[in-house]
């Protein structure tokens, strides 16, 4: 059976949590392969709401192994809190159902402080980070000065690692007018949190290879979306990791052949949190209505999401870059009752028309959408579980999206509830 990677095909917040949870019923292992606790997933299961930021979505299901791969940056204190929070809701997390890559890098308090200091120094030109230290942690990773999960097992050896780390960070902090890091206090904090992390750590790459050879189904869970990818997104208004499916192999410790199907998640409209270009953004009553009906607030930050029409140009680009074989279209029900719908089919830039999102930030900011209009539908699609329950106008809208993005709809979500999902193509099938 095919292993599946689930990735966002827009700017994140596409509803990956529900889809991953729905697919995890068919999976044996669920793997997070990039990002940190800056990405939130909201799951609604039997009326219970779970908001996860770092833990894989499969952790709320019994009998599944959840894995935090080496491509993730881990805030150990945030991890501890999240485990405690879902334990209070009756979900037990143990080393039997959670494994953390021993070579994953840690997010420390100094990373959060640097992240926030930088955003404050930018004034009105912020990137729009969550301020949780993800970017600075990735910088230390590629700068070869990071503290990793495995380092917590030998606190005596941490001194040299901390000296190298603080040589860099204290110089930066002085530039921002921040006091130097107290090394002894930081080491004490790490010693205190180590027992809450180390029991879960291990050689993830070996475990995943063993599970794959045993014929187990593995689900790779992405965070954010393709247009936030550090290489392929709307740079510099992006996250600090690769969010496309190519990262699933490297960030999980598997070869590229381990992933058979890539499922891209996309809303039936478009949203974005934070700064950066957004060609189809609606700064009017229509955009406000989408936000209100779709409850568009960030799971992690609580920030209001910017809303706009579906951008087929952007999603088609995500399909090509990410190797997406099929999409899960979410939040179709948010469009119920609208008289007219629009889909962006091209951009106008400098008097010309192009069918892709250009790389230069200035051109991205200049892009103006070329729209195709559709009749809306007045019937409710909320809770539909078959194509026969959908209005004809809704089906027409979906079919045209398939044509424009050059990928089929594999799943269709019609509410936050897990079972309100129409399966067209099973990603786990051969």
**Which residues are known catalytic residues?**
13, 41
210: left (phi over 0), alpha (psi -120 to 50) or beta: alpha
User: Cβ–Cβ contacts within 10 Å for residue 298, how many?
Assistant: 18
């Amino acid at each position: 059976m095919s292993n599946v990677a689930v990735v966002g095909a827009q700017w994140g917040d596409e509803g990956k949590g529900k889809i991953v949870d729905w697919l995890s019923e068919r999976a044996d292992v669920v793997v997070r392969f990039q990002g940190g606790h800056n990405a939130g997933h909201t799951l609604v299961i039997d009326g219970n709401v779970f908001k996860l930021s770092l833990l894989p979505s499969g952790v709320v299901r019994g009998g599944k192994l959840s894995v935090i791969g080496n491509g993730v940056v881990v805030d150990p204190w945030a991890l501890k809190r999240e485990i405690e929070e879902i334990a209070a809701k009756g979900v037990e997390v143990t080393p039997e159902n959670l494994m953390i890559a021993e070579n994953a890098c840690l997010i420390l308090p100094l990373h959060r402080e640097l992240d926030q200091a930088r955003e404050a120094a930018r004034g009105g030109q912020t990137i729009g980070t969550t301020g949780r230290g993800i970017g600075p942690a990735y910088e230390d990773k590629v700068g070869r000065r990071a503290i990793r999960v495995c380092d917590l097992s030998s606190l005596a050896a941490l001194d040299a690692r901390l000296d190298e780390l603080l040589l860099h960070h204290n110089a930066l902090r002085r530039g921002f007018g921040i006091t130097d890091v107290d090394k002894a206090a930081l080491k004490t904090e790490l010693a205190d949190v180590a027992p809450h992390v180390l029991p879960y750590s291990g050689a993830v790459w070996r475990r995943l290879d063993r599970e794959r050879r045993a014929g187990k189904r593995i689900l790779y869970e992405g965070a954010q979306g393709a247009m936030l990818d550090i290489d392929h997104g709307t740079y510099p208004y992006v996250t600090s990791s690769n969010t496309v499916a190519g990262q699933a192999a490297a960030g999980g410790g598997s070869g590229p052949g381990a992933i058979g199907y890539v499922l891209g998640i996309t809303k039936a409209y478009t949203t974005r949190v934070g700064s950066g270009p957004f060609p189809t953004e609606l700064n009017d009553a229509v955009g406000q209505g989408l936000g209100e009906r779709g409850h568009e607030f960030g799971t992690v930050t609580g920030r209001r999401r910017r809303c706009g029409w579906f951008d087929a140009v952007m999603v088609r680009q995500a399909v090509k870059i990410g190797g997406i074989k099929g999409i899960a279209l979410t939040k179709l029900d948010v469009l119920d009752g609208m008289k007219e719908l629009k889909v962006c089919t091209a951009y106008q830039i400098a008097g010309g028309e192009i069918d892709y999102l250009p790389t230069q930030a200035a051109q991205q900011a200049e892009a103006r959408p070329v729209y195709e209009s559709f009749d809306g539908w007045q019937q409710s699609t909320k809770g539909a579980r078959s194509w026969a329950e959908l209005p004809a106008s809704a089906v027409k809208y979906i079919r045209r999206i398939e044509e424009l993005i050059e990928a089929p709809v594999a799943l269709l979500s019609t509410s936050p509830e897990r079972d309100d999902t129409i399966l067209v193509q099973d990603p786990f099938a051969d």
